[in-house]
Amino acid sequence: MKAKDRELVALRARIAEISPTEAQRLQQQGAVLIDVREADEIAQGSPPGALRLGRGFLELRVEDAIPDFDQPVVLMCNGGTRSLFAADSLARMGYSTLFSMMGGFSRWKAEGLPFEQPSQLDGLARQRYARHLTIPEVGEEGQAKLMASKVLLIGAGGLGSPAAFYLAAAGVGTLGFVDDDVVDRSNLQRQILHSEAKLGMPKVRSARQTIEALNPAVKVDTYETRLSSANVEEIFAGYDVVVDGSDNFPTRYLVNDACVKLGIPNVHGSVYRFEGQASVFWPGYAKRRGPCYRCLYPEPPPAEFAPSCMEAGVLGVLPGVIGLLEAVETLKLLLGVGDPLVGRLLCYDALKAEFRELELQPNSDCPYCAPGRAFPGYIDYEQFCHAG
């Protein structure tokens, strides 16, 4: 008997082998099914819900994907041999309940069990998003989600600039920009989408040029208009997430009210001198009901208590910090990973280099997001300052 055959006999004595039907039953009961085949094999089909880790990177990725070493794990390859070696490797790492699926995917498919063909990335996308593909929480499936997603940015200014840069770099398939302003020299201290050469150009056109130069695969939609109750629903339609980078209260309330009505997550950011805030206003979040913006601020403050951006000023780098936090929250929402800032307000003090988190509760009497309330309509508040 050859050495490899002897090793297989020894492995079968140590590792329990189960049929594809038994593997499916265990998966439905909470076991993790890991497909250890290579990407070209997985492209031909893989069981729904399987973790597609690949044999070559299994040991590097498995602890992040399965932190509970007592959780049952079923390993699957194409014919049932590689999965035995993979199970043995996980046993040496400390995983306690391991199974190898006999016959692998070939038998799974032959027995008529369900499978899907995961979205595949082309060679250029694999190069560009290589660092995403190695993260279990993203991987090829997550990257495909990002590339199919649509994000609308309210404002191509201080907050929208860093958020847009990194959402485009991450591969979000469609970015929309709403802004009716043009590039001014005073913008360039913080609005990094724009440049000296674009002075006087509409900000949405400047943003399109910048994003397309960074990542030509991203589709850029532009809305060179002021957001109003007359156009907000038409513009918001079809977007998965709205990123609010406005700096005036009327727009923030309009964004909030439309997001509540349409059920779209509202990723909020605001900055003032050396301080910034970020949150996710999404009463429809499945894991817990969060507040909307009106739960925190039911009505706009009087104009004398709401200085314009020109009057108050802002440290140029501060929108970069808050805009990047908005981008992170947006990617988490699109991927369905982590704990988003729903019901939490993250406050940043640049002078103290300090983050604080405040818990936010939904207002049970909120006229816009309280359960069972009919939408009361939009309110066109008097503008306090211009977007940007």
What span, in angstroms and rounded, lies between the C-alpha atoms of 297 and 122? Answer: 46
Q: What was the pLDDT predicted at 307?
A: 62
Confidence band for 387, pLDDT divided at 50, 70 and 90: very low
What's the whole-number average pLDDT of the chain? Answer: 92
Domains of the chain listed by start with CATH number: 3-118 (3.40.250.10), 149-359 (3.40.50.720)
Average pLDDT over residues 76-98: 95
Q: Is the pLDDT of residue 383 over 50?
A: no
Say if CB 99 and CB 90 are below 8 A apart.
Answer: no
Q: Is the pLDDT of residue 46 over 50?
A: yes
Q: Is the pLDDT of residue 384 over 60?
A: no
With pLDDT > 70 as the criterion, what percentage of the chain qualifies? 96
Q: What was the pLDDT predicted at 95?
A: 97
pLDDT in tens, 9-28: 889 999 999 999 999 999 99
Question: Which two structure tokens, joined as six digits, stand for 219?
Answer: 């589709």
Q: Is the pLDDT of residue 7 over 90?
A: no
pLDDT in tens, 271-296: 999 999 999 999 999 899 999 999 99
Question: Which is catalytic among the residues 309, 366, 369, 385?
Answer: 309
309 is catalytic: yes
Q: What was the pLDDT predicted at 118?
A: 77
pLDDT in tens, 185-212: 999 999 999 999 999 999 999 999 999 9
Q: Is the pLDDT of residue 304 over 70?
A: no
**Residue of higher predicted confidence among 388 and 292:** 292
Average pLDDT over residues 138-149: 92
Q: What was the pLDDT predicted at 57?
A: 81
pLDDT in tens, 47-84: 999 998 888 889 988 998 899 999 999 999 999 999 99
The residue to which tokens 């039953």 are assigned: 25
Bridge pairing between strands 150-154 and 344-349: unpaired
Q: What was the pLDDT predicted at 31?
A: 96
Q: What was the pLDDT predicted at 75?
A: 97
Residue 114 CB: number of other CB atoms within 10 A? 11
Confidence band for 386, pLDDT divided at 50, 70 and 90: very low
**Residue of higher predicted confidence among 117 and 225:** 225
Give just the sign of the alpha carbon dihedral 58, 64, 65, 70: positive
Confidence band for 360, pLDDT divided at 50, 70 and 90: very high
Question: Which two structure tokens, joined as six digits, stand for 199?
Answer: 């002075």
pTM to 2 decimals? Answer: 0.78
Q: What was the pLDDT predicted at 308?
A: 56
**Residue of higher predicted confidence among 136 and 349:** 349
Residue closest to 30 by CA, chosen among 61, 63, 68, 72: 72
Contacts of 160 (CB under 8 A, 6+ apart): 153, 154, 177, 179, 193, 207, 243, 245, 323
DSSP annotation of 6: H
Q: Is the pLDDT of residue 235 over 60?
A: yes
Q: What was the pLDDT predicted at 119?
A: 73
